[in-house]
Amino acid sequence: MSAFVQSATRRPVLMSARIWLALLIFAGFAALPLIAALTDDPFLMLIGTRILAYAIAAMALDLILGYGAMVSFGHAAYLGFGAYAVAILNSYGVTDLLVHILFAVLLSAVFAAITGAISLRTRGVYFIMITLAFGQMAYFFFVSLSAYGGDDGTPLQSRSTLFGRDALESDLVMFYVALALLIALFAVATRIVGSRFGRVLIGTRENPVRMEAIGLSPFRYQLTAFVISGCMTSVAGVILANQAEFVSPAFMSWHRSGELIVMVVLGGIGNLTGAIGGAVVALLLEDWLAMLTEHWRLLFGVFLILMVLYSPHGITGALERLKGARK
């Protein structure tokens, strides 16, 4: 109990510091097009959009992983639902971005509600493996969906339209739309975490038996959080499909789910700002290592193991430890 009370009283200060940090990150993103213009590097916008999409996904995963202690190893599936929502609706001539997002969210909500209800009957290692298996199930479904290219995927005819205009064809507009979505979803996630719902979720993480004892059903809260998280992740999938103008099952491979977890842990779990930061750092590190050598995965793997063994709380943990040492 004491840990819970402590974190609840400590939270307002920490919370606002984290929100300021998040605003700083958003400002940095907003200035990115300026840097792209100055360095005359048009690819920077595409890289930026990709990072924004993964930031949304990592934040969504942190909502259940960090605040609800549900280690979902199948979250890449929702990236895929978002991406295929764009491809499928496009092929039927429905191109509006909002409709795409709505369809993606609907699809994800149904899948998350069904698989979540089954997965949440279990705990710990079982939960990890079951979410992984359900993620693979979705993956294989799209691999055998030959109408949309099967294993190879399919290119998009065009990007989504915004209120009937093809504004997203500009990488710059695409980037800012992605940024706006990230900020909006960050606001939603922050509200959720701070609400009564969020407190019950955190309480369930700390001690589900106790939550039941005070008359709350952990299952319902956990399942709702699971569905919300899946829906948010699918928005990232919609952005990714538009960024790449290409959709394939590779978005949903279990490696991708692993990378999402890496981002969350890198940023420090249970910390929405950290998840965004973790996505930025992980993707930049990948790109940087890939420039150094074609065998970058080897280095990334070594980095992962060292991080787990020596800095279990990610960047935020390392920073907070530094701050503590100075005091």
Q: What is the DSSP letter of 249?
A: G
Residue 106 CB, shortest distance to another protein, in Å, is 20
Q: For residues 300 and 286, is the Cβ–Cβ distance under 8 A? A: yes
Residue 121 CB, shortest distance to another protein, in Å, is 4
Structure tokens belonging to residue 152: 């190879």
Which of 286/320 has CB closer to another protein?
286
Which of 203/314 has CB closer to another protein?
314
Cα–Cα–Cα angle for 278, 279, 284, rounded to 5 degrees:
100
End-to-end CA distance of the chain: 27
Residue 129 CB, shortest distance to another protein, in Å, is 5
H/E stretch holding 8 reads helix 2-30
Q: For residues 134 and 77, is the Cβ–Cβ distance under 8 A? A: yes
Cα–Cα distances in angstroms (integers) from residue 284 to residues 123, 224, 280, 289, 300, in the given order = 34, 32, 6, 8, 12
Residue 327: exposed, middle, or buried by beta-carbon count in 10 A (0-12, 13-18, 19+)? Answer: exposed
Residue 88 CB, shortest distance to another protein, in Å, is 14
Which residue has tokens 């949309």?
Answer: 148
Which of 216/304 has CB closer to another protein?
304
Neighbouring CB atoms inside 10 A of 251's CB total: 25
Which of 10/255 has CB closer to another protein?
255
Residue 73 CB, shortest distance to another protein, in Å, is 7
Which of 161/222 has CB closer to another protein?
222
Residue 79 CB, shortest distance to another protein, in Å, is 17
Which of 172/311 has CB closer to another protein?
311
Distance CA 103, CA 241 (A): 14
Which of 3/125 has CB closer to another protein?
125
Q: Which residues bind another protein (CB under 8 A)?
A: 65, 71, 73, 115, 118, 121-122, 124-126, 128-130, 132-134, 136-137, 140-141, 143-146, 254, 258, 261-262, 265, 269, 295, 297-298, 300-305, 307-309, 312
Residue 317 CB, shortest distance to another protein, in Å, is 12
Residue by residue, what is the 3-state secondary structure of 283-303? HHHHHHHHHHCCCHHHHHHHH
